[in-house]
A = this chain, B = another copy of it.
């Protein structure tokens, strides 16, 4: 762990397609990342896993391989857009080294595993990422990470306008 503010820390930021995740990243860039440089941000994005579509299929939907391919293409495009947007937010902070990591799976596992694997000094995430439905069934991603990741976890909420 870094011994002084901003000396070569590895900060993992969970990125999804929502506004709150963008706000969390912006807050981190303004308030946590050292203006003197030396920190590395790793933007981690969890792509929705295929089983979601398989489950829809078994519930009675007819999914031809064309439809599946189209759904998959759409999911990939959403992922790419989320990561691109996050990278653009970082572009104003040239003193920060930025890396990206995209993995398929449950965001709770993807984000916690990434923080662990990368030996993160800090994990930053929005409070309500990954949508209402997912949260209702799986529980809050941020609560899960705050309890289960070994590193400090910063949960950022988007202020109401």
Contacts and interface: CB of A to CB of B under 8 A. Distances in A.
Interface in A1-40: 1-6, 9, 24, 27, 30-35
Nearest to A152: B156
Interface string A120-152: 011000010000000000001011001101111
A146 to B, nearest CB: 4
Which of A4, A9, A30 has the most chain B CB atoms inside 10 A of its CB? Answer: A30
A135 to B, nearest CB: 11
Given A153-B154, A155-B153, A147 B127 contact: yes
A51 interface: no
A146 B155 contact: yes
Contacts of A146: 127, 142-143, 146, 155
A5 B152 contact: no
A4 to B, nearest CB: 6
Interface of A: 1-6, 9, 24, 27, 30-35, 121-122, 127, 140, 142-143, 146-147, 149-157, 159
30 contacts: A1-B27, A1-B30, A1-B31, A2-B31, A3-B30, A4-B30, A4-B35, A5-B5, A5-B30, A5-B31, A5-B34, A9-B31, A24-B152, A27-B152, A31-B32, A31-B122, A127-B147, A142-B147, A143-B147, A146-B155, A149-B157, A150-B157, A152-B154, A152-B155, A152-B156, A152-B157, A153-B154, A153-B155, A154-B155, A155-B155
